[in-house]
């Protein structure tokens, strides 16, 4: 668990945002819209799909599990600051087939060959625990890749960008050149749907615009 980002002896805060993720992409997306989490609390959970589990349901279950694990880690804290706890998970699927988070070159190559020249779907679930209660959204985005040549696939494998990425690719990097069409939320494919996330936080009373003046 990452330590809180506040110095010892700091004045009590009016609110606190905890991101239940170690993803640099999700952190960067929040920072893009002027939101800086006070701490990061990655959740180590089993992400194995259940038998016949639809991709949308898998994304939702994993985001809920990350939220629950982070909530448990925070349980018993003496900090009475109002806290918003945010968790998310992204699943890439072709039909009902869930693609893995590739860790080996062969896994990534299999994903890329499957995605080549066809449409796939990306499901990103966002779960929020606030002082008011719990809310969640699941965002579905359709992405079509061009037909990938052997050189495309080998070059991408050589880049290493695929490692640890759902579906074996990162759309915000070199694989952006593979995308012929995208219908839905680009930021959801990166890892966090900004419109839905900010709407959830705003609706639950988190000051999403607090730092906008400072950014100017």
Q: Which residues contact 207 (CB under 8 A, 6 or more apart)?
A: 14, 15
CA distance 216 to 213: 5
CA distance 21 to 138: 17
Cβ-in-10-Å burial (0-12, 13-18, 19+) of 201 comes to buried
Contact 74, 36 (CB under 8 A): no
Element (DSSP H or E) covering residue 113: helix 105-115
* Known catalytic residue at 38: no
Q: Which 8-state DSSP code applies to residue 99?
A: P
Q: Per the residue annotation, which of 2, 46, 89, 110 is the catalytic one?
A: 89
Structure tokens at 125: 């679930």
Where do runs of H (alpha helix) occur along the chain? Answer: 24-32, 55-74, 105-115, 150-159, 186-190, 194-203, 212-215
User: Known catalytic residues?
Assistant: 89
């Amino acid at each position: 668990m990452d330590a809180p980002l506040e110095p010892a002896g700091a004045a009590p805060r009016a609110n606190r945002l905890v991101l239940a993720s170690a993803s640099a992409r999700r952190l960067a997306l929040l920072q893009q819209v002027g939101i800086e989490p006070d701490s990061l609390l990655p959740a180590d959970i089993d992400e194995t799909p259940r038998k016949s589990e639809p991709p949308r349901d898998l994304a939702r279950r994993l985001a809920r599990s990350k939220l629950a694990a982070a909530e448990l880690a925070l349980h018993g804290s003496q900090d009475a600051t109002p806290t918003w706890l945010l968790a998310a998970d992204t699943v890439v699927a072709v039909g009902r087939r869930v693609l893995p988070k590739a860790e080996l070159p062969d896994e990534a190559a299999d994903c890329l060959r499957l995605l080549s020249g066809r449409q796939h779907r990306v499901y990103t679930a966002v779960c929020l625990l606030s002082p008011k209660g719990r809310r969640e959204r699941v965002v579905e985005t359709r992405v079509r890749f061009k037909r990938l040549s052997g050189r495309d696939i080998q070059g991408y494998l050589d880049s290493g960008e695929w490692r640890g990425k759902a579906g074996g690719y990162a759309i915000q990097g070199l694989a952006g050149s593979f995308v012929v069409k995208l219908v839905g939320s680009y930021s959801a494919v990166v890892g966090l749907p900004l419109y839905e996330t900010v709407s959830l936080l705003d609706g639950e009373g988190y000051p999403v615009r607090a730092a906008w003046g400072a950014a100017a």
